Structure 1
Amino acid sequence: MRNTGGSELERVHDALRPVLDPELGLSIVDLGLVGAIARDHGMLSVELLATTPACPMRETIHEDALQALRDAFPRDAIEVRASALAWSPARMSDGARRALGWS
């Protein structure tokens, strides 16, 4: 599987930006929950991180992300899966840190 190029990466982030973490009310992109993005033979694969290993909203976030990607890439097969990477607040955008009062 190859990593996606810059413009496709931006399109994926743009598609996922409206997807919110329901508990925090912030974009999963700004929270740094979007991990590896790859494409292989028409399959767009996106890994999502969770803020905690037992995140109760993981399934909801994955379903919302899958729908957003299907809407943005209607001709592609889409796979959204859990990342093995650990999330940390360092992955958040400056705007997300400000919204949470962490800056």
Structure 2
Amino acid sequence: MEKEEETREILLPNWQGSGSHGITIDQTDDGVFVKRVQQNSPAAKMGVVKEGDQIVSATVYFDNLQSGEVTQLLNSMGHHTVGLRLQRKGDKSPLPGQSWSHDVFTASSPEVVL
């Protein structure tokens, strides 16, 4: 019986874009892999990201995105598998500090057709 490979999800808070966490990735025909973890970087200090790890997916939390960034992000996905984590009003928030204390849909909310 083949041993199933271990997968794990890590959280990289305060993502500032390329280079912000010290992870260099390489995309090959076999997938996306961690090529290098910069010494003393936030990723190295976490100790959970290792060279050779395959990145099989990424989660982007919408809580701090500016107006229009969600639309731009979703529109850029093209023909790829996209997973959506959904939450209903009244459900407990998946992230600390978030709540449904305000009206979710406002007149200024942009409409996106997925």
Q: Which has the larger radius of gyration?
A: 2
Higher helix share: 1
Alignment TM-score, normalising by the size of structure 2:
0.24
Higher strand share: 1
Higher RCO (CA < 8 A, seq sep 6+): 1
